[in-house]
Structure 1
Amino acid sequence: MGLTTPPRKKGSVTETRTDSQPLLSTLGEDGDSDSAPELMMTRGESRKDLSDRTPSSSARSLRIASWNVRTLYEAGKCVQATREMQRYRLDILGVSETHWIQSGQKKLRSGELVLFSGKEEGIHEEGVAIILSKRAQRTLRGWEAHGSRLLLASFLSSNRGIKINILQLYAPTNAASEEEKEEFYDQLQRITEKLPRKDVNIIMGDANAKVGSDNISYEEIMGKQGLGVMNDNGERFADFCSLNDLVIGGTIFPHKDIHKVTWVSPDGGTENQIDHICISRKFRRSLQDVRVFRGADIGSDHHLVIATFQLKLKRYSRNPTTKRLKFQVNLLQGNKITDFGITLKNRFQPLEHLDEDMETYWSQVKDSFISTCTEVLGEKDYKHKDWISQESLNRLSERREKKAAVHNSRTRNEKEAAQREYSDAAKEVKRSIKNDKEAFTNELAERAEKAAQGGHMRTLYETTKVLAGKRKNT
């Protein structure tokens, strides 16, 4: 991933024309393989923020979120996204403005799976993605990429015969041309009308649409809890929801205005509700809450929007007998090879004079190999280690505290000072993560060089794949 910083938004969000190309992928494709959750309460977070991150002993509800992260193309952004995803116990996170090109899926080191769709080539801009927790990955039925603004994923629910279809979007801004808006909504309508009405259809993302609090003529699809006044994009979005029988969740539940604002201008003077999560009106009662969580921080001018559902993903029980054993074969050098051969020979001796059928004999041979590998080599350790240093992680926590200080400011001067401190902290985070990335790359290069000199082709091959960005590269 590159280290390019995207331009800041001024006043309103600005994007360019979208290119769409259908693509169907399944979970069976090879993915590429970011950090441990951090549970803390910082200044400015409400008690509800903290309680929503406290694990429950009972079966918890489905938690889906949408977030415009401004970019995932910058080094360390995936780590930050997954850390916040774990902090807020999210099953599925929809992302807008990934700035990734092409389409595909990527397995992160921390275990999450990223489905992404972007432009086929050119400038790193726009782009959408859906990040799945380990729990959600097991229920993924399929997904489709539709250019740089739309991504559809389908999941199996606990109700037999009913799927959960999630469409992540990134709409043109209110200042975009009429042609660009028409093209986007035409494509959105074509995809939506193909979704079965019997399924749970969820459409979410950065709609760049202010729907406001006046629901006259839209009583069936929105409430009076929206923020601000409807604009042109808001009218388009409300008409689309009305046509497809979708309820706009952020307009239904009564919350403070600070828990409705999804975007704040760089100068802090303009606040809008332009990110939305919608659900089929048929399943309106399954939607328990939609709320903005300002405590989540990824260096974006958008806030995290979380929706809680009574819906459940299909449950799969793990079968421990299907676990694939892997051993530390890299230890088979020098005396280890001799020890391994002697131990294996001793286990094979009682089998030489056995008069058993082929299946029984093969089972005993296999058990001999497994017991020998376990005794001499030991199972491979899968402890996850991030390339991001502890110093950078501490700076991320400091940046989150600076963001809370901005929210807690009572006067204009206080807020401006807190905003400057936050900007400085964000620069320090970017600089520290960039240094970590360079150190990680240099370490891999040295490892590859030593492997090449020593003739260890397997190590050289795996290290080269990481350096090339095709495995565990985020």
Structure 2
Amino acid sequence: MNRYNWHLLGLCEARWKNAGEIQTEGHAFYYNGDENRHIHGVGFLVNKSIKNTVMGYQPVSSRLITIRLRAKPFNITVIQAYAPTKDYDDEYVKDFYSQMQDIINKTDNKDILIIQGHWNAKVGRDALEDWDEFIGPSCNDTTNERGLRLLEFASYNNMMLANTLAEHKASHRWTWQAPNGQHNQIDYILVQRRHRTGINRPNTRTFPGADVGSDHDLVMLNFRVRLRKVNKPKNTRLRFNLEKLKDPRISEVFQATVGVKFAPLLQLDEDLEAITNNFNLVMTETANEVLGKSQRKSKPWVTDFILELCDKRRNQKKKKNTPEGRAEYRKTNKDIRREMKYAKQRWITKQS
């Protein structure tokens, strides 16, 4: 996200259970998954530079989540979708699209609506003659049955498949590489036709250089709009470096300082509320003097070796077109996940 300066990143197959919100490196991650199993899962990673524009998010299902951003001249509603694969029957797919239509029907008509995700559908140039209002030339050669369903959905809601509109070279068009090495475009970003002038078409494409450890490549919508800050109460909670209390000498100084400051206050004839307020003030002052503020470090268990593996994987991605290159990439990806798991366990053990 930092490397490409993206503001909002939609994710599919996150495989996190339940719904929630976490902060990571200053960015905000909103997610929703299955209640019982680590399957499906969708989410939004919001860049810290715009996270104060978030008006709210709605976890709908393990395949659908929405987020709303305050912007000018209209607010923006984004739906992240993870469509069923071919392993699911037509009735299941129909329910998925019906649920998504319900979300659209409840969306403020004034909002700019964007729907993005992994559609498990192929839209091709063979559909241009009948669907040229909704797609462009930068797509597959042929359209499959799920692709036709997606086109019908886009037409019904008067939306365009934004990443097909401009002519792109193949590597900027493909979004997924099958295990056999074949490339396809099955990920799309839908934008309302009435807002099509806001689409920067040449820069709305696949970015194969973005290494995310997946067989899918990231697709970016470059859209011209002004975001507005949402005024929220600031979190004034102070965080102190409590790790220092593990040092017996510092712990002793802390206790002694609190005792010296608080003892005279007990001699005053005050009610319980005043005593409590004085105690909190003493604790805060002492913690600030003795411990200092905590400097939060994101993922402190990430080692230099793991970062080297990430660089290695990024370079190997360029060679994924060969069987040997794909095998090396997958091996390095597994090595990264294994090292991350063990490094985190070692770090947690040291903290206890």
TM-score class normalised by the smaller sequence? 0.7 to 0.9
The equivalent of 2:152 in structure 1 is 239
- Give the alignment's Cα RMSD to 1 decimal: 3.2
Which among 252, 275, 299 is matched to residue 187 of structure 2?
275
1:113 correspondence with 2:20 = no
CA contact (8 A) 1:228 1:272 kept: no
Deviations 1:48-70 (A, max 9, x none): xxxxxxxxxxxxxxxxxxxxxxx
Alignment-mate amino acid for residue 179 of structure 2: P
CA contact (8 A) 1:105 1:116 kept: yes
The equivalent of 1:176 in structure 2 is 88
Alignment-mate amino acid for residue 207 of structure 1: W
Structure 1 residues without counterparts, runs of 5 or longer: 1-84, 350-362, 408-414, 448-474
Give the distance between the partners of 1:393 and 1:178, measured in 2 at CA. Answer: 43
Are the structure 2 counterparts of residues 378 and 190 from structure 1 closer, same or farther at C-alpha, using a change threshold of 3 Å? closer
The equivalent of 1:255 in structure 2 is 168
Q: CA deviation at 1:401?
A: 0.9
Structure 2 residues without counterparts, runs of 5 or longer: 266-276
Deviations 1:8-50 (A, max 9, x none): xxxxxxxxxxxxxxxxxxxxxxxxxxxxxxxxxxxxxxxxxxx
Are the structure 2 counterparts of residues 165 and 319 from structure 1 closer, same or farther at C-alpha, using a change threshold of 3 Å? closer
1:389 correspondence with 2:303 = yes
Which among 108, 117, 134 is matched to residue 48 of structure 2?
134
**Map 1:130-169 → 2, pairs under 5 A:** 130-159=44-73, 162-169=74-81
1:380 correspondence with 2:294 = yes
Q: CA deviation at 1:258?
A: 0.9
Which among 39, 52, 77 is matched to residue 125 of structure 1?
39
Q: CA deviation at 1:119?
A: 2.2
Are the structure 2 counterparts of residues 383 and 141 from structure 1 closer, same or farther at C-alpha, using a change threshold of 3 Å? same
Deviations 1:71-120 (A, max 9, x none): xxxxxxxxxxxxxx22222221111112223x321314423322222222
Deviations 1:251-308 (A, max 9, x none): 112211110000111121x211110011111111111131111112232111111111
Are the structure 2 counterparts of residues 99 and 377 from structure 1 closer, same or farther at C-alpha, using a change threshold of 3 Å? closer
CA contact (8 A) 1:205 1:276 kept: yes
CA contact (8 A) 2:52 2:231 kept: no
Structure number with the bigger relative contact order (C-alpha 8 A, sep ≥ 6) is 1
CA contact (8 A) 1:290 1:306 kept: yes
CA contact (8 A) 1:174 1:232 kept: no
TM-score, normalising length from structure 1? 0.64
**Map 1:427-466 → 2, pairs under 5 A:** 427-444=334-351, 447=352
Are the structure 2 counterparts of residues 315 and 197 from structure 1 closer, same or farther at C-alpha, using a change threshold of 3 Å? same
SS in 2 for 1:401: helix
Deviations 1:388-410 (A, max 9, x none): 22211211111111111335xxx
Are the structure 2 counterparts of residues 394 and 192 from structure 1 closer, same or farther at C-alpha, using a change threshold of 3 Å? same
Deviations 1:355-374 (A, max 9, x none): xxxxxxxx999999876654
CA contact (8 A) 2:302 2:343 kept: yes
CA contact (8 A) 1:140 1:154 kept: yes
Deviates more, 1:210-219 or 1:397-406: 210-219
Give the distance between the partners of 1:417 and 1:383, measured in 2 at CA. Answer: 37
Alignment-mate amino acid for residue 90 of structure 1: W
Deviations 1:375-398 (A, max 9, x none): 444333334452222211211111
Give the distance between the partners of 1:425 and 1:235, measured in 2 at CA. Answer: 37
The equivalent of 2:100 in structure 1 is 188
The equivalent of 2:270 in structure 1 is none
Which among 16, 19, 22 is matched to residue 100 of structure 1?
16
CA contact (8 A) 1:193 1:244 kept: no
Q: Structure 1 vs Structure 2: percent identity of aligned residues?
A: 31
TM-score, normalising length from structure 2? 0.84
Q: CA deviation at 1:319?
A: 10
Are the structure 2 counterparts of residues 337 and 117 from structure 1 closer, same or farther at C-alpha, using a change threshold of 3 Å? closer
